[in-house]
Amino acid sequence: MPVAAWPALAAVAIGAGLAAALLLVHHKAAVLAVLAVGAALLVVAQRTRAGERAAASAAAHPRLVPVAVAACGLGLVMLLREDNFALLMLCTVALQTLAALGLHLQFGYAGVANFAGAAFLGVGAYTAAVLGGHLPSVLVLVTGAGLAALAGLLLALPLLRTRGHYAALITIAFGLLLRTFLEVNDTLGGPQGLKVPGFTLGGLAFNDAIVFDEDTEWSFYVPYAVLALALLGATHVLVRRLERSWIGLALDAVRVDETAAAAFGVNGGAWKIAAFCVGNALCGLAGALLAMVTGFVAPPSFAFGDSLVLVSIVILGGIGNPLGLLPAAFLVVVLPEKLQGLQEYRFLLFAVLVILVLRLRPGGLLPRRLRRWPGLP
Amino acid sequence: MPPVGAKDTVRIAFIGPLTGGVAANGLGGRNSADLAVRLRNADPKAKYTYELMVLDDECKPNVGVQVATRAASDNSVIAGVTHYCSTVAMATVDVYKRFGLPVVVWGAVLPDITYANDYKEIHRVNGTMINQNETAAQFVTGLKFRSWAVIHDTTDYGKGHNKYFSEALTRAGGKILGTFGVTADQQDFSAELTRIKDLKPEVIYFGGTTPLGVRIRSQMDKLGVKAVFQGTSGIISDAYIEGLGTLAEGTLAFREGAPVEKLPGGKAFLEAYAKQKYPEDPEAYGPFAFAATNLVMDAIERSGPDRRKVRAELNRTRNVDSVVGRITFDDHRQNSVPLITRFVVQDGRWVVWEDSDYATGKRALAKR
């Protein structure tokens, strides 16, 4: 019996609607109302098995769903085309999700905890600051990703010789090291930081507003948002494909039991390092574009706390499920901004909300499902 | 004539660090800006009702750009009173320029914020660290001290102070025996202080903020390092004295502007502040936030709620009396503050040097 496409499309539409609502409302009460609606929908989806139907329908229409998501993303950008602040938030969410996808690859699949996500973001960002204006922007993004992967390789050996908490400690140490290095290094701007030139593509400078006529002017964040969402979409599809392939299977095996995996001829060390490097490259890519969007980099943006934000996106989203990262990033990035009205108490409420989510949904917002092989009963 | 009680509401933004390590200063600034708005709204002669949009920049440049974009792209916001942290102010000047929002910086001290660009939107009421260290070097060498050890944190604040103080001190004839950079969250200073103990400087100059200053001063005592402790504007806070108790006695520090209580309106500011029962103190830069907010509101009163006109009005600021002294903007819209006040801790209070027992000779700073 063919599975209908509408449950998946409805889920995508609801998600986009919630995102738009959260970006557009400003009032405290309205923000909390949107959150309440989101939470209620999540509970309903769980209780009525609507969530499973949507997932089954998405699995049955693997080509339709990405198109729908892309359409919703573009629709969102068009809806917000004149709202600079909302678009900046959208860019930040997309790029933080991109970085979190990198961490997800490392932690969710290969089981390598990385508490230095912000440091790799920083490597990408500083690459954009130093090389921007000298190289074509696309090359700058690629170089940022490459250098982040390279910096991660420094940790390959110590990471292979340690396990669990100790490996996590090594990444923490690396994060602190990089931050201190940036602070004392005057050629990289020292503690004051550096300006970052904007993205240009074939003569189109992304930092200029798009003016149609006297009354119609789109925010300069529109092209950034489209680019960020496109990068995120492409990477998401790639990660999904990876998960379904034998590579994903090998990574899962290494995470669950490295010894058993080795007995089946899977080289645990090689896979861990590969996942670590690719993940860091994604962080570097996100960092390079984020720096161009922000226009400025300085060491305080890449502190340990910012690495924890990335880790909390992965955990909040549901470890191992790339789909959960987007709502989690929305919560972690947009919510503190939307709670600005509470001034110094906003992080208190934010922390309470995060604890509530983890208390009520210990597996995260959208936990990972068991692998289901097409063709098997 | 509009009927009484039907004034238009004008929004101005206040941006500062409300959470994180320097939140005390951000909250003091926020309260002071809030006080200025409350006083103005209570004034029947004011043409508009003012509303303060308060945003937290967390002392992080990326967050600063976010909130600056939020304020600047909101057309109902006419002007801003912005930033305590220099990196954040550096990151956001382009945002204000792009969206044409006139702002007055109330606490960030890095010279480049006003001098590295020529943006008509950016003004600053507080002085830069150049002025502060010039005075500090001349004053302390005048007290017949000759040798220094410098400890500074590796933020832009600490590094900048180290640079400008070292330059000024060398010109004034002082000698620096050693310079030590420390990270802003360092806990233990035994290594640096043991080294300094061997160097035997007469004065330890510290460029950094209160939490670090408290740690270094108390560890100096534990290790038996006897030297005068000389700080910067970053340690002029009540938290510094609370953190150290009697150990704070004799600490020197410098700040731009005249002491608040000595200026016309200064006493009234402190009394009004106390009356509002804010849970936090105004801290060193509260008066600057108060003065900046008033400057912005005065400009709006004169020119109406229009960003371009307010910008022109602010650009023209000359000889305006305020709680931090007379404000005159130079060609880079930097307040050319003529006055640096010297402070010393005496009996658990920051006292203006001229009023202290140290100046009269009743007490002496610890010499070796």
Summarised one tens digit per residue, pLDDT across range A173-211 is 999 999 989 988 888 988 888 999 999 887 778 888 777
Angle at B340 between CA B338 and CA B342, to 5 degrees: 155
Interface test with A, best of B31, B55, B57, B69 (most A CBs within 10 A): B69
Structural domains counted in chain A? 1
In Å, the largest CA–CA distance within chain A is 69
- Asked if residue A66 belongs to a domain, the reply is no
- One-letter amino acid at A226 equals V
Give the model's pLDDT for residue B238.
85
Sequence-distant (≥ 6) Cβ neighbours of residue A153 within 8 angstroms = A273, A277
Averaged confidence pLDDT in chain B: 90
Of B222-231, B281-290, B330-339, minimum mean pLDDT range: B330-339
- Whether the predicted pLDDT of B208 surpasses 80: yes
Retrieve residue A120's tokens.
Answer: 């790799």
- Angle, helices A50-60/A28-47, rounded to nearest 10 degrees: 80
d(CA A346, CA A352): 10
d(CA A113, CA A16): 30
- Whether the predicted pLDDT of B262 surpasses 80: no
Q: Chain B: nearest CA to A86, how far in angstroms? A: 8
pLDDT in tens, A263-304: 999 999 999 999 999 999 999 999 999 999 999 999 989 988
The helix (H) or strand (E) run that includes residue A137 is: helix A137-153
Q: What share of chain A is helix, strand, coil (3-state, %, to 5)?
A: 75, 5, 20
* DSSP secondary structure code for residue B233 in this structure: G
CB B57 within 8 A of CB B63: yes
CA of B18: which chain A residue's CA is closest? A344
Instruction: Specify the CATH architecture of the domain B8-127+260-337.
Output: 3-Layer(aba) Sandwich (3.40)
Instruction: Specify the CATH architecture of the domain B130-256+341-360.
Output: 3-Layer(aba) Sandwich (3.40)
pLDDT in tens, B154-165: 887 888 899 999
- Asked if residue A114 belongs to a domain, the reply is yes
- Asked if residue A195 belongs to a domain, the reply is yes
d(CA B336, CA B327): 7
Backbone φ, ψ for residue A376 (5° rounding): -85, 150
Identify the CA nearest to B340 among candidates B270, B211, B252.
B252
Interface test with A, best of B56, B93, B110 (most A CBs within 10 A): B56
Identify the CA nearest to B310 among candidates B296, B321, B329.
B296
pLDDT in tens, B91-135: 999 999 999 999 999 988 888 899 999 999 999 998 888 888 988
Dihedral, B192, B193, B198, B199 alpha carbons, nearest 10: 70
Q: What share of chain B is helix, strand, coil (3-state, %, to 5)?
A: 45, 20, 35
A190 touches chain B (CB under 8 A): yes
Identify the CA nearest to A89 among candidates B19, B62, B102.
B62
Parent domain of A232: 86-321
CB A334 within 8 A of CB A350: no
d(CA A322, CA B287): 49
CB A288 within 8 A of CB A228: no
Interface confidence: ipTM more than 0.90: no
- One-letter amino acid at A274 equals A
Contacts of B61 in chain A (CB under 8 A): 193, 294, 296-298, 300-301
A350 touches chain B (CB under 8 A): no
DSSP 3-state of B342: strand
- Whether the predicted pLDDT of A313 surpasses 80: yes
- Give start-end residues of each CATH 3.40.50.2300 domain in chain B: 8-127+260-337, 130-256+341-360
Q: Strands B122-124, B147-153: parallel, antiparallel or unpaired by DSSP?
A: unpaired
d(CA A203, CA B147): 58
The arrangement of strands across the sheet holding B228-230 comes to: B175-182, B147-153, B203-207, B228-230, B252-256, B340-346, B349-352
pLDDT band at B338, cuts 50/70/90? Answer: low
